[in-house]
Amino acid sequence: MSKRKIHATDIFNLISLTDPQWDKHSRKFAFVQTTMHEEDNEYRSAVYIGDLEGKTIPFTTGKGRATSPRWSPDGSKLAFVSNRNEKSQIYVMPANGGEAEQVTFCKNGARGPVWSPCGTKILFSTSVEGVQDLQQDEEEKKKKKHPEPLVVEKMRYKSDAKGFLDEKNDHLALLDLKTKEISLLTDGDRDYGTPAWSPDGKSIAFVTNLEENPDVSLVSDVYVMDLETKEKKKITNSNGFYSALTFSPDGQYLGFLGHEKEFQSATLSRVWVTKLESGETHCLSENLDVEIGDVAIGDFHSGNVNPGLMWTEDSEGFYFLMSDQGGTGIYFGSLDGAMYPIHLPDEHVYAVSMLTGTHEAIVGVSNSTDPGELYHFDLKSQTRNQLTNVNESWKNEVELCKAEPIQFKAKDGWELHGWIMKPAGFEEGKKYPTILEVHGGPHAMYANTYFHEFQTLTAQGFVVLFTNPRGSHGYGQHFVDAVRGDYGGKDYLDVMSAMDYALESFDFIDENKLGITGGSYGGFMTNWVVGHTNRFKAAVTQRSISNWLSFYGVSDIGYYFSEWEVQGNMEDKVEKLWEHSPIKYVSNIQTPLLILHGEKDYRCPVEQAEQLFIALKKQGKTTKLVRFPEANHELSRSGDLALRIHRLNHVKNWFVEYLQKA
């Protein structure tokens, strides 16, 4: 039986499995299953419990979202976060079933539960202005509030994730499960995050920026707090960014991931370990030229969790995720600095939970033709067993196109890497229109993972070409840093080299029907490309940057990102910002250009799209602007479902009109 072609709306048929958490007592695992529903335009997430025989059952039910399942130390209970009663709060439920008990009633919600080693307390995060925000005031909820002006005194006053920032900050709080009392552990006009609890229960670790002026001192330092005295001990030196904290089982070491900003935002994340007794901190992976963690770009899974260092029972070693050459896998490291790969597949390991005592893992794995399933992986024997098949029936119904890896050289001899996807129903001897995709970041990585946008385009009869130009992660420190100060330079040549290589190597590409698209940095590159060549007959720029001068003041990261990445500023390097702005070259653009942008995008604000659209329209160019209401920078990955479908269809239809019908 022939399979049908994929549509944009097939996203409603897909199921996402994330955040596996393995209980060493029962050897069962909890995970989050997310489905997308067209009828009410809603994401729904539920916590499921699975075993190694492949049986899974729902642990939570109903509409809304249940996330962050965390086993109590003895495995008898699960804590999780649910928004079943409007705001997200923490619930606790017996592992063998029963009624879920809501244990937090915070005014601004609660998230990120971390059990104490004794199982009687839960550490969590909440947004507060003061202690009064720890509990909801039912009467206050009913009061209507008049609009008030937003008074701004800081450069960092908005966030793409949160919108305009108010007086609230992210703080850490402690819940006593016996008394139900909640105490605030941190305070002040600072944010605290990624908490971890020491094995003896006497201290916690977290990251924060306690510098005098956090607008200028852009760092996240690691601290350890004594829970009895509330005394904080600073671990790092206010010169970098750190996250994903974990204590070794014997409590002697604190591990974390991050870097000292040697190359600003283009610095590889590394493995760090502090010996708590002496305070000595060492980078253990400085000789390992790979990015620690998962930096793969996709448009399907959301809510992935970086587990940080997963320590062995003897506290002498640890496992961790890493990204290299378009794949993400598992490495092993030891306190003496030895690092070596355990599992480096041509696929995307996007989630992992380990029982390090037996060297086993539950992993979430995706590839170009598989949205993702969970597997049991024995690291010693290198064998794995599939535990779920939630997307199997859909995969059997549709024609999926495989991404085939390509290796080629840039004009200056640099080795480059990418993939090409033939269209659905491919026939030898035919020529097909081709779309070149450019990822955002730029410090991210196209990878061996499922990409719904790519499958939607190949189903329409397009070849899809995608690559990792210099500036991408996955190819070492020199490669990722090479784009800084050179936006539109060698990275542009890399993108064009990919197109040249494909035309030389694949006779099924119609050289007269080429298109290009990308989002964020990929939108910048799309704008730049059509301003510097007319070889593309259609282009779609998404959540893009067109003008670094205005971006400097309107983006939530503009005032430092522009200086770090473009290496221009508003003091004495204004010309540098203008030189790298695609809008400077707008009079050169002849390619029909579709401009897509979210109204609430504070990362690359919508004025970037407005400027480009008006400049093109004024000059009589072929263009269209599509604005997505209430959508931020994450529209294509986790935004409103109806708008995600509209976005995909606009992209597809533009290329159909100007490549297939032309």
**Active site positions, annotated:** 520, 633
Give the integer Cα–Cα distance in Å for 46 and 55: 16
Give the integer Cα–Cα distance in Å for 612 and 585: 10
Residue written as token pair 């964020």: 520
* DSSP-assigned beta bridge partners for residue 339: 333
What is the separation, in whole angstroms, between the first and last Cα of the chain? 33
387 Rama sector, left if φ>0, alpha if ψ -120 to 50, beta otherwise: alpha
Task: Let me know: does 511 contact 540? Beta carbons within 8 Å.
Answer: no
Task: Let me know: does 80 contact 94? Beta carbons within 8 Å.
Answer: no
Q: Which of 41, 39, 116 is nearest to 71 (CA)?
A: 116
Query: What amino acid occupies position 230?
Result: K
Give the integer Cα–Cα distance in Å for 236 and 600: 35
Locate 645 and state its tokens.
């479908």
Cβ atoms < 10 Å from Cβ of 155:
15
Give the integer Cα–Cα distance in Å for 621 and 21: 53
Chain centre to alpha carbon of residue 611: 28
Q: Quick one: 574 exposed, middle or buried, by C-beta within 10 A (0-12, 13-18, 19+)?
A: middle
Task: Let me know: does 285 contact 339? Beta carbons within 8 Å.
Answer: yes
Locate 433 and state its tokens.
């229109």
Find all residues with CB under 8 Å of 372, minimum gap 6, and list them. 16, 17, 300, 301, 348, 350, 364, 365, 366, 391, 450
